[in-house]
Structure 1
């Protein structure tokens, strides 16, 4: 299917690895010029080189979005090649801290990285989208925003903030030709998650082979109807669709891609 994205430009934050990389590569395959972002120039450059080697178009912007200075530098670099039509706010971080360990300072740092980073990019890039009369802003959220657990309360709350701001932004952009939506993945098997599962599997008695570990973790740690973890390549198409002109009539929505982790009606 032609997603009608050829010639568009996108910035995917946190796209030097994992889910962000899969999103960047998927957009590039649809003819989008992708600005690959990360805090490590070598890693971001490697992703951009891979996209170009496969016939796509890619640029690189490096910076720490948790600071005004870093976010400003990334926005300037991204805009140096032209208007950004598609902003995917994917960059973020999480840890395994619980209520006892997560101090107010940890909460504040998490919001800087997971929430205010996206706000900074919205404020920098959306005005040019308004001027052109078309654009897409997509937050990468998660099921923990609406179905939180006791662990990682600061991370759960930061995801909820992402979901909330996406709807508020959609209302703000009414009639502008710009849509604002959220893609909410479930537990996704990135390299970092795989490493974590291997590390904690013995303590949980999840088994010795990867197949046993994934099945047991998906059953007891992140229960879902698919019985496994999702792959980055399964989330990226949802982002591509919402980024495309085919999704003109979708704004303020949350698209869950989580194997049935979140159970709700409506």
Structure 2
């Protein structure tokens, strides 16, 4: 299968590292012009330089904005008023006890993980519908289905993304625009790797061994029995953004290694 996204413009939020950067790379490899978003000029410049070194000739644009507020989203939209592909990857996570999670924390997670996608979709979908083609993808999580007891605030926002994506898919039904969710499980991103550094340093394990042990301890239902790579997650997203995926809309597509014990 050859995925050709030339003449398409893609916005990937929070695309300076990890899954977001891998998605940006995958879309650029398929010929899309990719808008790289991050909260600082330095992080965006670093990501663009990295992509240009590995993919000479790709077309990239910078969009510096913090999407945790309406003003930040508006700043981003000033740089990217019209796109063909929107990947809502911006999000935050972190464990915290339910009793210790105050209203301000709940609101911060909601604004960043949910409302950023609401605001960007509301602004960018009309042109996609008018053009008769577009792709919107929400990067959710297996935590949307398998709510972690130590991150209830995070899990709730990931579940909300599934509802949002499904509702938007029905809202634009028949327009040629698709809206889907992709649900990664444990993924060997920079943040996940950093979390394992102490175990690697003090217990003499390789990163691969530590990552596999983490998955089998904390996600024992995993079928692949290891974390996914960021490229494996990006592969699913790139496919969903392709013309070949035109019959896939309103779906929640898991790249969780089988962690969620469900046959549907």
**TM-score of the two chains, using structure 1 as the length reference:** 0.93
Deviation at 1:56, TM superposition (A): 1.0
Establish whether residue 8 from structure 1 lines up as the match of residue 5 from structure 2: no
Question: In the aligned structure 2, how far is the partner of 1:96 from the partner of 1:201?
Answer: 21
Deviation at 1:49, TM superposition (A): 2.5
Deviation at 1:231, TM superposition (A): 0.8
Is the 8 Å Cα contact of residues 144 and 159 (structure 1) preserved in structure 2? yes
Question: In the aligned structure 1, how far is the partner of 2:206 from the partner of 2:199?
Answer: 13
Aligned pairs for 1:17-166 (under 5 A) are: 17-53=17-53, 54-79=56-81, 83-166=82-165
| Structure 1: gaps (5+ residues) | none
Say which SS state the counterpart of residue 64 (structure 1) adopts: coil
Say which SS state the counterpart of residue 236 (structure 1) adopts: helix
Q: CA-to-partner distance for each residue in 1:146-192, whole Å, 9 max, x for gaps?
A: 11121100000000001110000001001111100011101111111
Question: In the aligned structure 2, how far is the partner of 1:11 from the partner of 1:227?
Answer: 32
Question: In the aligned structure 2, how far is the partner of 1:19 from the partner of 1:87?
Answer: 15
Is the 8 Å Cα contact of residues 5 and 31 (structure 2) preserved in structure 1? yes
The more displaced of 13-22 and 100-109 is: 100-109
The more displaced of 190-199 and 242-251 is: 190-199
Question: In the aligned structure 2, how far is the partner of 1:131 from the partner of 1:211?
Answer: 47
Deviation at 1:200, TM superposition (A): 6.2
Do the aligned partners of residues 250 and 211 (structure 1) sit closer, same or farther apart at CA in structure 2, a change above 3 Å counting? closer
Do the aligned partners of residues 186 and 213 (structure 1) sit closer, same or farther apart at CA in structure 2, a change above 3 Å counting? same
**TM-score of the two chains, using structure 2 as the length reference:** 0.94
Question: In the aligned structure 2, how far is the partner of 1:212 from the partner of 1:169?
Answer: 41
Question: In the aligned structure 2, how far is the partner of 1:29 from the partner of 1:230?
Answer: 20
Deviation at 1:55, TM superposition (A): 2.2
Query: 1:215: which partner in 2?
Result: 212
| Structure 2: gaps (5+ residues) | none
Say which SS state the counterpart of residue 148 (structure 1) adopts: coil
Question: In the aligned structure 1, how far is the partner of 2:79 from the partner of 2:261?
Answer: 41
Question: In the aligned structure 2, how far is the partner of 1:254 from the partner of 1:197?
Answer: 29
Q: How many residues are paired up? A: 261
Query: 2:256: which partner in 1?
Result: 258
Say which SS state the counterpart of residue 100 (structure 1) adopts: helix
Q: CA-to-partner distance for each residue in 1:26-75, whole Å, 9 max, x for gaps?
A: 00000000000000111112222333343211001011111111101101
